[in-house]
Amino acid sequence: MVLAAPMAQAAAKKAAPVKPIPALVQKDGKFALMVDGAPFLILGGQANNSSNYPAALKDVWPAIKDLNANTLVMPVAWEQVEPVEGTFDFSFVDALIKEARQNNVRLVILWFGTWKNTGPSYTPSWVKGDNKRFPRLTNKDGTLSYALSPLYETTREADKRAYVKLIEHIKAIDSGQRTVIMLQPQNEVGVYGAARDHSAKANAIMAQPVPEALLRKFNKPAGNWNEVFGKDADEFFHAWSIASYVDNIAAAGKAVYPLPTYMNAALKDPLNPEQAPGSYASGGPTYNVIDVYKAAAPHIDLLAPDLYSPGSQSYEATLNFYARKDNALFVAESGNRPTYARFIFSTLGRQGIGFDPFGFDYTGYSNFPLGSTQSGPEMVKPFGDLYELFRPLERVWPKLSLESQVWGVSEPDDHSAQTLDLGPNWNAKVTYRQWQFGMPEWDPENKNGYPEGSEIPSGGVAVAKLSDNEFLVAGYHARISFGAGSANAAKGFILDRVEEGHYDAKGNWVFERVWNGDQTDYGLNFAQPRLFKVRLATFEK
Ligand code: DGJ
């Protein structure tokens, strides 16, 4: 009897269920990242580039905490794990995983290898200085580029060996807890200043037949690269070459421990299709070569944009390009200026699996003008306020996104109104710069101006369908006004019940109060980030 309790405990411990490995699942063109067997929304924060050392971590965790992030996105560099060829050091990975667990966050690990912002700066010295073994590509004018060529097995095999060692290490220390949930092999691949490698070796491959898989994808007859792809041939060739190279590395990693993988893109201007490759990172997974990547890289689960475009039109256009039936939307990076925070709403509205703005630590660094002028808590707050709203939904929202329907809009730069088509029965209008009561026309000359701080766009609304007539609504600095859709046009519209509340740790809705009267007569006004459950109804006229 005396031994029974400890024995039972030991048995229970032994029987603890194995947590399934994270996976990206797809259902009818909708996606979810499964973590511990259930959908998980990445509310991420990416650390600055040089925060990947144990000594820097103490300045990372407080920012991640203020951000209310559930995931830290952190680089691990080839130069740091294999400074001497064949000798590996994973002490940073050990510290990172241990401290992530202590801080109760998950990790996405970025492999800075052959490519980091297209260059080899993170390869070890024995790689970046040895052009013979690890050749750089040749520019069109015959000069040597700064970037490594994707056409050499020597380079690929050396990178792959280090990457696979990293994955073996992660598997060894993390397959019980699954702290690491996703991997990004390489960072912003491609090349500036050229469309492709113009070496004799590259020219010879260009003159050979285009691979079958690519012909099939584009439904093209056989031929060499110029014959098949004409003016796109150079860029498509480089994209194919890099995608195949990275896929080969990702496949080797997955054979060891099959975590989801993604590649991030330094963007091509989504509003300027004429922009020439090389003025943007040619060969990277820009929107115009997503199909090339899909054909070349089956071991890459998704392609993800790095969003530093300040205009809302451009930001939204890029989101549209990457949210596809064959590509889950993940904002791999976004600027950390306050105005970027609101784009979480339009990311969620496109069934995004996560949002990961860049530059979140307190190491005192700021990448303005791409990101914020600030590097302390003021920089974090606009994002932290919205993550505070969504963090309790980290399991609820992605389940609805996978299984039901979601919508989301962010405030446009010109503050114009948006309409949500919620199906035949209902719709909603979202407006910005509104006071919490009444209508703008009551103050026709706008004598009282707009609410303080509203000149800088910061608002947005995300809506998820709970049942035919019931919606979950999260918003900030916006007004949402529901109405009858075309199927209910002949009927009277009623905002039947508006509950403010939150979700508890088990994912159960906790009712706080009913909003009615002044609080709902002029739409639901989000002066602060808030969460509602809204029930809509009609009456016969
Ligand atoms: C995009 C890169 O992927 C990041 O690592 C970083 O260099 C930013 N650009 C700029 O801060």
Average pLDDT of the segment spanning 309-331: 97
Ligand 1: residue of 46, 188, 373 to mutate (most ligand atoms within 8 A of CB) is 188
Task: Give residue 117 CA to ligand 1 midpoint distance, Å.
Answer: 7
Band of residue 259 on the pLDDT scale cut at 50, 70, 90: very high
Average pLDDT of the segment spanning 67-94: 98
Return the number of other C-beta atoms located less than 10 Å from residue 491's C-beta.
14
| Per-residue confidence (pLDDT) for residue 262, from 0 to 100 | 99
Per-residue pLDDT of 240-258, as tens digits, reads 999 999 999 999 999 999 9
Band of residue 7 on the pLDDT scale cut at 50, 70, 90: low
Mean of the per-residue pLDDT values of the chain: 96
- Of 38, 8, 7, the residue nearest 23 (C-alpha): 38
- Tokens linked to 242: 């890099």
pTM, rounded to two decimals: 0.96
| Per-residue confidence (pLDDT) for residue 12, from 0 to 100 | 52
367 close to ligand 1 (CB < 6 Angstrom): yes
What is the residue type of 96?
A: L
Ligand 1: residue of 49, 50, 189 to mutate (most ligand atoms within 8 A of CB) is 49
| Per-residue confidence (pLDDT) for residue 2, from 0 to 100 | 40
- Of 276, 129, 149, 127, the residue nearest 200 (C-alpha): 149
- Tokens linked to 198: 């113009």
Please give the Cα distance from 241 to 301 (Å, whole number).
18
CB 184 within 8 A of CB 262: yes
What is the residue type of 530?
A: R
188 close to ligand 1 (CB < 6 Angstrom): yes
Average pLDDT of the segment spanning 253-280: 98
Task: Give residue 13 CA to ligand 1 midpoint distance, Å.
Answer: 43
Task: Give residue 383 CA to ligand 1 midpoint distance, Å.
Answer: 18
Per-residue pLDDT of 181-219, as tens digits, reads 999 999 999 999 999 999 999 999 999 999 999 999 999
Ligand 1: residue of 110, 115, 186, 187 to mutate (most ligand atoms within 8 A of CB) is 187
Residue 132 has pLDDT above 70, yes or no: yes
CB 238 within 8 A of CB 283: yes
The angle at the Cα of 47, spanning 44 to 53, to the nearest 5 degrees, equals 130
Residue 524 has pLDDT above 60, yes or no: yes
Task: Give residue 360 CA to ligand 1 midpoint distance, Å.
Answer: 12
Atom in ligand 1 nearest the alpha carbon of residue 266: 1
Q: What is the CA radius of gyration of the chain?
A: 25
Residues 6+ apart with CB under 8 A from 228: 210, 215, 218, 220, 221, 222
Please give the Cα distance from 273 to 271 (Å, whole number).
6
| Per-residue confidence (pLDDT) for residue 3, from 0 to 100 | 42
Per-residue pLDDT of 442-480, as tens digits, reads 888 887 789 998 999 999 999 999 999 999 999 999 999
Buried b (16+ CB within 10 A) or exposed e, 158-175: bbbbbbbbbbebbbebbe
Q: Which residue puts its alpha carbon closest to atom 10 of ligand 1?
A: 367
Would you give the DSSP letter of residue 20? P
Transcribe 164-229 into DSSP letters: HHHHHHHHHHHTTT--EEEEEEEES-SBSS-SS--SHHHHHHHTSBPPHHHHHHHT----BHHHHH
| Per-residue confidence (pLDDT) for residue 113, from 0 to 100 | 98
User: E strand or H helix at 530, and its extent?
Assistant: strand 530-539
356 close to ligand 1 (CB < 6 Angstrom): no
CB 471 within 8 A of CB 405: no
Residues 6+ apart with CB under 8 A from 98: none
- Tokens linked to 179: 């702290």
- Tokens linked to 215: 């012909």
| Per-residue confidence (pLDDT) for residue 10, from 0 to 100 | 58
- Tokens linked to 287: 């929107």
- Residue 529: asked if its preceding bond is cis (omega within 30°), the reply is no
Task: Give residue 370 CA to ligand 1 midpoint distance, Å.
Answer: 9
Q: Which residue puts its alpha carbon closest to atom 9 of ligand 1?
A: 117
CB 429 within 8 A of CB 480: yes
| Per-residue confidence (pLDDT) for residue 447, from 0 to 100 | 79
Please give the Cα distance from 517 to 524 (Å, whole number).
11
Please give the Cα distance from 10 to 541 (Å, whole number).
67
